[in-house]
Amino acid sequence: MAPSLLSIKNIRRRSRASFKSEKPSNDAATDASSDASNGRTPTSGSLTPPSAPPSVLGQSDIALHQQLSKERLNESAHGTSPVPPVPNLRPPLRSASNNTNRYSVSGMTGLGSPPTNGRGPQPQLPVSPYAPQIENIRHGAWVSQKVLIITGTVGTVVGRSIDGEVTVSRLDDDYPPVAWPVRDCQFKALVYLQSGVNKLKFDFWSPKLANSATSNPIHSTQITINSMPPSSSPPLQLVILMGKDSPGTFDAPPERIKREGNDLNVAIRKFRMAAYLWQAFTAEQMFRNKFGRRTFRFEEEWTQGTTCARDHETGRLRNEARVHVIRMDKTMAEIRSMDIAQQNQQAADQGGLFPMAAEAVKKYFNLQPGQEQYVTCMYLDSHWDPTDKIIQGHAALGSSSGDLKLAIFGSHCLHSYPTKLEEVVPSFTDCTPTDTQYVANDCNEAGSSWECANIGIGAHLHETGHLFGSPHQANGVMLRDYVRLHRSFLSYEAYSTRTKDKGGPVSQAEECTWHRLDCLRFRSHPCFALPHDPPRHPDASVHAWPLEDGKIAVTAPSGISFIEIFGEGEDLCTTWMECPGLFEENQIKRQLILTEDDLRKRLPENKRKGKVRLCVKSHGGGSLDVDNVHSLCGKESKLSVGNPVTGWTAYRSKKLGASQLEGSQPMEFVFTSAKHHDRVLSRVVVYHGAALDGIEFIYDDDSRQVFGKTANVNVGIFDLDVRKGEYITGFVVRSGFWIDGIQILTSLGNRSPFFGNKNGGDAHTLIPPYGYNICGVWGTCGAWIDGFSVMIRK
């Protein structure tokens, strides 16, 4: 007998679990509506959607008949009775399938906000026309820095200008909300990121909008940013240098000292905040140049958070950039007198503060040979002398040479720096006149507090750019465009005493930038590596080889990054060639053929005559300077071997070393085995000490060729396997002013031990271009070898 229609409806109102547990669902209506609103099939409640028409409810289901028959047999066997039906008093709802994108409008997330979990489809309800629109980063993006620049617009769809504020907050309230001004529909915000997922909310408020002051912001946008700080790249170390008798204070106007203090703790907070601004600015510039948000990282420590007022008041601990404090063995008087001597153009001791800082830093970090460290320092004891009109204890210098990459700057502008995110906009718009009775700045360019902060933070970043290997450029931070650095963090500019400009809204085209060439350098720099980058190539060297028909081959095992081209008399590069990116493995160029004519055509027309100079950069960070392209590929590089009929031409590759030792003389020869096929090179003897003294090539008939001197007591021997036809295919040379050491590479993949100083100079790999072999050596020798390279033939 078939069950009645009422029994079927009762069964269909019971949960799936009730078929097994025989327990009724307590809140079927609530569960069903909750699941429907999340776009899921209900896991409890009615099996038939409430919106199903009556005709569906009246249909017969054979499978359900069988299930009901089994349940009745079980009930009869156990003596139980059917569960009474639960009356459905709720009005019909829409189908769950039509509710997958339904979100609450009146909830705390605001009108049209994305889901608070940062995932899922976008809302179907209309978004407020005044909801902030994020322009420079997408939802769910990954970054690696601590502070992120966010740029966006408000109300542009309405078609009229509007001012107000955008308040940025975290949904987990792990960081206090910070308000950022909106001017002419534009806004810029700085967001402090935690490692992991950062769910951010942007709320717009304006006095021109009647509903802006409600407790439930309706002009709201949510976005999720993922942060993964790098851990395998070398950090930029932040260091404050103090004299051994320093009280730990810095120059500041009296009212500023009264308001915020000028002790060491304040100095650390201000220096750290300036460093975060450097980091955020650099990441944004790299992103605009299509290199991702690459930027340098800092060594961090678990300490009291200093980037917001709430952390400072509550003592909240966070991972913050570590600022090392080094007490030097010099007094304040010695530091300041050294600087006075440095600023005196007639002084014999130039640059005294830089080696002083280098000595203190090496001692503090206990640097060992071959260990690179990147350190940017601030002299805390810098002092403005209003009588002599000079800043004592300050020098702006940066260098990327040697193992210690160092930059130094003074604290004379530190009083104007922000200490936390809430102070960034006030600090960069503070028009308080500079009181030269107490403070001053470089060249006294800054007549107001915000201009002083701009020059101090920007000029120190300029020196840090030198630390990363950037020279002066035609524009950007490495020129002196850092006087506009503040525009990267503001939507409007205050009155400038330097330009007499009354200020106004700031466009992206008016901002300070890193030059494109700086960004190309940073792309390959180890400090700018991202967590997902592949391992760096161990060989960063790059070399140039003259070839036939006036061609030049440029080779680099790690790939060629870009080539700077300089015309006659040019100091700043305005012409360059870019090669495919570091991670485009299928396109990366490890060898590039150039011609002098092509290089000249790339230069401006008024620079095409005269000497052409090149600077070639590899993806591994290596660099090669070619002082004169014409000399490299001209007759000077060629050597004719044999008679004109059966002879051939050897080409001298770019020489390593300065060849400037006293008594230095040129030396060269073609290998005997290259001129006579009945001779085989069987042994190489290397004479060395702290540098390379000489190399002796011995053949199977015991004949010898000597390059350099053979008088040193340290002798290294490397035998070639003549039975297998082993021959020399290249050299690894460490050189600087002279040749420090050498290693031999062979056709069987063997390497000799390294002979000489393995930590001296820079490493260069001399392996000929495709289709060419080494046929000799050439260079110069004084007391020891101070110039070396190879000759090649096709």
Q: Is residue 123 part of a domain?
A: no
CB 420 within 8 A of CB 307: yes
Q: Is residue 162 part of a domain?
A: yes
Res 191 pLDDT > 90: yes
Environment class of 248 (CB within 10 Å of its CB; exposed 0-12, middle 13-18, buried 19+):
middle
Phi, psi of 284 (to 5 degrees): -65, -40
Res 664 pLDDT > 60: yes
Identify the band that residue 719 occupies on the pLDDT scale cut at 50, 70 and 90: very high
Q: Is residue 274 part of a domain?
A: yes
* Alpha-carbon gap, residue 229 to 235, rounded angstroms: 11
Phi, psi of 67 (to 5 degrees): -65, -40
Beta-carbon count within 10 A of 517 CB = 23
Task: List, edge to edge, every strand of the sheet that includes 373-379.
Answer: 323-327, 236-242, 373-379, 404-410, 397-399
pLDDT at 304: 94
Res 324 pLDDT > 70: yes
Mark residue 335 as left, alpha or beta (left: phi above 0; alpha: psi -120 to 50; beta: remaining): alpha
Instruction: Give me the mean pLDDT over the 94-118 stretch.
Output: 39
Using DSSP, how many helices (H) and how many strands (E) does the chain show? Answer: 16, 39
All residues at 6 or more sequence positions from 605 whose CB lies less than 8 Å from its CB, including other chains: none
Res 598 pLDDT > 60: yes
Q: Which domain holds residue 606?
A: 543-633
CA dihedral 167, 173, 175, 181 (to 10 degrees): 0
Identify the band that residue 59 occupies on the pLDDT scale cut at 50, 70 and 90: very low
598, 664: one domain: no
Q: Is residue 105 part of a domain?
A: no
SS3 per residue for 289-329: CCCCCCCCCECEEEEECCCCHHHHHHCCEEEEECEEEEECC
Res 113 pLDDT > 60: no
Structure confidence by residue, pLDDT tens digits, 207-242: 888 766 666 778 999 999 999 988 889 999 999 999
Res 6 pLDDT > 60: no
Strands (E), 126-280: 133-134, 142-143, 147-153, 164-170, 178-183, 186-192, 196-205, 220-227, 236-242
All residues at 6 or more sequence positions from 302 whose CB lies less than 8 Å from its CB, including other chains: 317, 318, 319
Higher-pLDDT residue of 285, 93: 285
241, 266: one domain: yes
**Residue where one domain finishes, among candidates 580, 607, 633:** 633
Structure confidence by residue, pLDDT tens digits, 7-22: 444 444 444 444 444 4
CB 61 within 8 A of CB 5: no
* Alpha-carbon gap, residue 31 to 538, rounded angstroms: 60
pLDDT at 158: 81
All residues at 6 or more sequence positions from 160 whose CB lies less than 8 Å from its CB, including other chains: none
679, 711: one domain: yes
619, 644: one domain: no
Q: Is residue 153 part of a domain?
A: yes
Identify the band that residue 449 occupies on the pLDDT scale cut at 50, 70 and 90: very high
CB-hemisphere CA count at 13 Å for 207?
1
End-to-end, the C-alpha distance of the chain in Å comes to: 99
252, 193: one domain: no
515, 607: one domain: no
* Alpha-carbon gap, residue 10 to 82, rounded angstroms: 10
Higher-pLDDT residue of 336, 638: 638
Structure confidence by residue, pLDDT tens digits, 362-399: 999 999 888 899 999 999 999 998 888 889 999 999 99
pLDDT at 581: 57
* Closest C-alpha among 650, 622, 486, 602 to residue 558: 622
Q: Is residue 532 part of a domain?
A: no
* Alpha-carbon gap, residue 770 to 332, rounded angstroms: 60
Mean pLDDT over the full length of the chain: 83
CB 503 within 8 A of CB 495: yes
Measured at the CA of 560, the angle between CA 557 and CA 563, to 5 degrees, comes to 145
| DSSP result, 261-283 | --SHHHHHHHHHHHHHHHHHHHH
Res 165 pLDDT > 50: yes
Mark residue 685 as left, alpha or beta (left: phi above 0; alpha: psi -120 to 50; beta: remaining): beta
Q: Is residue 116 part of a domain?
A: no
Annotated active-site residue 463? The verdict is yes
Distances 127 to 100, 215, 221, 432 between C-alpha atoms, Å: 18, 18, 9, 41
Instruction: Give me the mean pLDDT over the 314-334 stretch.
Output: 94
- In percent, the amount of the chain with pLDDT more than 90 equals 65
Identify the band that residue 759 occupies on the pLDDT scale cut at 50, 70 and 90: confident
Least confident residue range of 72-86, 277-291, 374-388, 663-677 = 72-86
pLDDT at 413: 94
89, 163: one domain: no
Res 91 pLDDT > 80: no
Res 69 pLDDT > 50: no
Identify the band that residue 54 occupies on the pLDDT scale cut at 50, 70 and 90: very low
**Residue where one domain finishes, among candidates 524, 552, 585:** 524
* Alpha-carbon gap, residue 18 to 477, rounded angstroms: 71
307, 401: one domain: yes
Return the CATH number at 788: 2.100.10.30
697, 777: one domain: yes
- How many domains is the chain partitioned into structurally? 5
Instruction: Give me the mean pLDDT over the 538-550 stretch.
Output: 92
- In percent, the amount of the chain with pLDDT more than 70 equals 81
pLDDT at 369: 83
Out of 463, 564, 570, 726, which one is annotated catalytic? 463
CB 248 within 8 A of CB 380: yes
Helix H segments across 406-504?
Answer: 424-428, 449-467
Structure confidence by residue, pLDDT tens digits, 570-588: 999 999 999 875 444 457 8
Higher-pLDDT residue of 239, 589: 239
According to DSSP, the β-strands at 543-546 and 551-555 are antiparallel
Identify the band that residue 410 occupies on the pLDDT scale cut at 50, 70 and 90: very high
Identify the band that residue 646 occupies on the pLDDT scale cut at 50, 70 and 90: confident
Environment class of 396 (CB within 10 Å of its CB; exposed 0-12, middle 13-18, buried 19+):
middle
* Closest C-alpha among 459, 447, 507 to residue 483: 459
153, 198: one domain: yes
Least confident residue range of 89-103, 169-183, 281-295 = 89-103
593, 564: one domain: yes
Which residues in 417-445 are b (16+ Cβ under 10 Å) and which e? bbbbbbbbbebbbbeeebeeebbbbbeeb
**Residue where one domain finishes, among candidates 633, 654, 677:** 633
* Alpha-carbon gap, residue 655 to 625, rounded angstroms: 11
Q: What is the DSSP letter of 709?
A: -
pLDDT at 337: 82
All residues at 6 or more sequence positions from 632 whose CB lies less than 8 Å from its CB, including other chains: 544, 546, 552, 626, 654
Least confident residue range of 294-308, 604-618, 633-647, 720-734 = 633-647
Identify the band that residue 146 occupies on the pLDDT scale cut at 50, 70 and 90: very high
Q: Is residue 106 part of a domain?
A: no
Identify the band that residue 711 occupies on the pLDDT scale cut at 50, 70 and 90: confident
Higher-pLDDT residue of 692, 6: 692
What's the full length of the chain, in residues?
A: 794
Return the CATH number at 554: 2.60.40
pLDDT at 351: 53
Distance of CA 665 to the CA centre of its chain: 45
Helix (H) or strand (E) holding 764: strand 762-766
Res 686 pLDDT > 50: yes
Instruction: Give me the mean pLDDT over the 584-608 stretch.
Output: 86
According to DSSP, the β-strands at 147-153 and 397-399 are unpaired
Beta-carbon count within 10 A of 623 CB = 16
Structure confidence by residue, pLDDT tens digits, 466-520: 999 999 999 999 998 999 999 999 999 999 998 899 989 998 999 999 999 999 9
Res 85 pLDDT > 80: no
Instruction: Give me the mean pLDDT over the 702-729 stretch.
Output: 92
Distance of CA 39 to the CA centre of its chain: 41
Environment class of 460 (CB within 10 Å of its CB; exposed 0-12, middle 13-18, buried 19+):
buried
* Alpha-carbon gap, residue 747 to 532, rounded angstroms: 35
491, 549: one domain: no
pLDDT at 217: 77
pLDDT at 342: 55
Res 89 pLDDT > 80: no
Least confident residue range of 53-62, 149-158, 173-182, 585-594 = 53-62
